[in-house]
Amino acid sequence: MAEEETVAEEVAPDTTQEPNQDTKPEREGVENLKVLENIDVGLTVEVGSTEIKIRDLLRLSEGSVIELDRLAGDPLDILVNGTMIAKGEVVMVGERFGIRFSEIVDPAKRVESL
């Protein structure tokens, strides 16, 4: 019977480690995120676009104007590495241009565009 008690003790779950098991994946996730924080990405603000023929492209000179597919005052597309993450508007920050985010793209939609 002493042997049966020993086996029962060895099989009993150790409840002192459960809280540590819950926080371990969370801690690993935070550490993984910290690694990603230092990666450079390219941020682009797209004013608009259009398609033109090479003939018209070759005729461009100083002062030429090309009409874009976006209306004045429309929000601009903000892209990170080619993926749209937001819309925004141009602002002045001292002597430089800046961009104010006005609408963030839903993360699920960002993943769909990859």
- pLDDT, tens digit, for every residue of 70-104? 999 899 999 999 999 999 999 999 999 999 999 99
Q: What is the pLDDT of residue 114?
A: 67
Could you count the other beta carbons within 10 Å of the beta carbon of residue 78?
Answer: 20
Read off the pLDDT band of 45 (50, 70, 90): very high
What CATH topology corresponds to 2-112? Surface presentation of antigens (SPOA) (2.30.330)
Q: For residue 69, is pLDDT > 50? A: yes
Read off the pLDDT band of 21 (50, 70, 90): low
Contact indicator for 85, 78 with CB cutoff of 8 Å: yes
Domain boundaries, the chain: 2-112
pTM listed for this prediction: 0.63
- Average pLDDT over the chain reads 82
Rounded to whole angstroms, the Cα distance separating 43 from 98 reads 12
